[in-house]
Structure 1
Amino acid sequence: MTTTESTTATGARRAGGPGPLAGRTVSRVGFGAMQLERLRDDRDTAVGIVRRAIALGIDHIDTAQFYGNGFANEVIREAVRPADGVLVVSKVGATPDPGGPYPMRLAQRPEELRAAVDDNLASLGLDQIPLVNLRRAATGPGLRAVGEQAVDIDDQLAVMTALRDEGKIGAIGISNVGIEELNRALPASPACVQNAYSLVSRTDEDLLELCLAENIAWVPYFPLGSSFPGMPKVTEEPAVRAAARALGHTPAQIGLAWLLHHAPNTMLIPGTADAGHLAANVAAGAVALDTATLAALDAVPSRSGDIIG
């Protein structure tokens, strides 16, 4: 590993070490921007969280226009400077719906995907988004596509590929997919897959193995389980709590560290609106897990629920 690979453009040591994503080397511990909306009434603090993440060695930030109806993107635009060398990743497939039953609604049609990329470009102030994830809605937790929103993945990938050819996006990622969809997406050269996955929710192990074989980054969301009713939480697992006590870390840090140890193509995007939690997430990237601890954690059964929001 060279010095250039191990440090960010600002000279900070990369959180969690370096890893490849969309043709670049970035921190394996990134930052998910969804929770920044909690700071809507304290924009300066929100900007400060992002600046602190960069100072702690994070140069991989995950966002979307539908996070806080553009708020997260606006904060990132203000906080991230060109000299920081940050890889900004966004996603499409939904759009803000602040007056609806959920803060977002699905926007799966090809013309909606194109409009969402344009919205992200405008709110982020970029000429090109380095990586954009196509958020599918046929599987996984969250809203499910029905009616005109049930769009074939080939039609969606066609517009995403066109946007890449036009230079509006640099690389394509996909989210909420099964093994059949991932295989169909391979000709589009996906840079990453974002699926719900954690120590206690490992039903996508076949996808992870395919991603590893195809040099595709694995970017799990809900890396510690979820607050959705019915979905287990990593931090409540006895084996995780025992490892935390033995190693002097928090259960959350053990859960994040397990993901990094489990597969070398894993890139994390834990989100927070709290500076203390941010520091703890970054520190998880340096947690060492011995063979016995890994074996105990690997033995935890997968019990993921199939939650539809």
Structure 2
Amino acid sequence: MGVEGSAGTWELGDLTVNRVGFGAMRLTGRAPFALDDVPSERARSIGVLRAAVELGVNHIDTAAFYFSALRSANELINSALAPYPDDLVITTKVGPGRDPSGEWLWATPEQLRGQVEENLRQLGRDHLDVVNLRTKGTGSIAEHFGALSELRDAGLVRHLGISNVTPGHLDEALAIAPVVCVQNRYGIGASPEENAFLRVCGERGVAFVPFFAIAGEGREAGTGGADSMEVRKVAQAHGVTEAQVRLAWTLHQGPHVLAIPGTGDPAHLAENVAAGALGFSAAELALLDAVTP
């Protein structure tokens, strides 16, 4: 195992994961979801996945809708890692979907089973470790989450999570079935409301899994714009990249915070894993905590 374990572990239900995981979105190309994008190099993407596992990553986040013109993240994971290591936890998402031409759609509660089965087929598994219900961010999720709870009872899904949600959504979901994780956008410069929700998850024993922690406002396009003076100062003091500081800062927000940075670059993969061992002084944390969007 590499330095992965230095960030500690967390329990997703009865599944133990190292806190630095891997997000599969960027495996398919430089511009995820763009069907006219230059596709990723297949052998390189497979190599990154295998290297991640060798470095100790045992939590991979993916989705059936992670595909570009020639690449599917789930297919790459299957090709690279099957038969899967016993301790590997694969988390996927349902709710959004894409037709073969790449057009987006949102599943009805009745269509969620088909999305779960699509992930099962692509990954070559008979059950999914964790399925997150990705929401539009507003409105009740009870009917959709209830449908996933039934799939959990049927054995197709082991654990459930929710993504792009509010504290009210978490309350709604917990009234139906256990929730092992919340995936929300989060990073340096988070609002007081976002910080409060992260703390609520910790109090309830629910993992908080930030997305776009490194990309920030760049979102799917990746990092964009200059980092703040505070982030650059801390990075220079430690001899690391600004991206590593951003990633490590999220891990310092609580033992229940997991990281799922994504990359198709072997060098960036090594940096992301190494960020799990990056420590900050109290003064550095205060400096980073004070950064505003």
CA contact (8 A) 1:68 1:96 kept: no
Task: Work out whether 1:276 is the aligned partner of 2:267.
Answer: yes
Q: What is the root-mean-square deviation in Å for CA atoms of aligned residues?
A: 2.3
Quote the offset at 1:114 in angstroms: 1.3
Structure 1 stretches of 4+ moved >4 Å: 231-235
Q: Alignment partner for residue 165 of structure 2, among 161, 174, 177? A: 177
Task: Give the equivalent residue in structure 1 for 2:111.
Answer: 112
Q: How many residues align?
A: 278
Task: Give the equivalent residue in structure 2 for 1:142.
Answer: none
Q: Alignment partner for residue 241 of structure 2, among 250, 255, 261? A: 250
TM-score normalised per structure 2:
0.88
Equivalent position SS for 2:188: coil
Quote the offset at 1:54 in angstroms: 0.4
Moved more, 270-279 or 16-25: 16-25
Quote the offset at 1:181 in angstroms: 1.2
Aligned partners of 2:249, 2:110: CA distance in 1, in Å?
39
Task: Name the structure with the higher strand share.
Answer: 2
Instruction: Kindly provide the amino acid, as one letter, of the partner of residue 135 in structure 2.
Output: R
Equivalent position SS for 1:172: strand
Task: Work out whether 1:71 is the aligned partner of 2:61.
Answer: no
Aligned partners of 2:224, 2:8: CA distance in 1, in Å?
26
Task: Give the equivalent residue in structure 1 for 2:206.
Answer: 216
Aligned partners of 2:284, 2:179: CA distance in 1, in Å?
33
Cα deviation per residue 1:24-68 (whole Å; 9 max; x = unaligned)?
211101000000111845222111110000011100000000000
Identical amino acids, percent of aligned pairs: 41
Task: Work out whether 1:205 is the aligned partner of 2:206.
Answer: no
Structure 1 residues 105 and 15: CA distance shift in structure 2, 3 A: farther
User: What are the within-5 Å matches in structure 2 for residues 1-309 of structure 1?
Assistant: 14=5, 16-38=7-29, 40=39, 42-68=41-67, 71-80=72-81, 81-83=83-85, 85-97=87-99, 99=101, 103=102, 105-139=104-138, 152-187=140-175, 188-202=177-191, 203-224=193-214, 225-228=216-219, 236-301=227-292, 303=293
* Structure 2 stretches lacking a partner, 5+ long: 31-38
TM-score normalised per structure 1:
0.84
* Structure 1 stretches lacking a partner, 5+ long: 1-6, 140-149, 304-309
CA contact (8 A) 2:99 2:105 kept: no
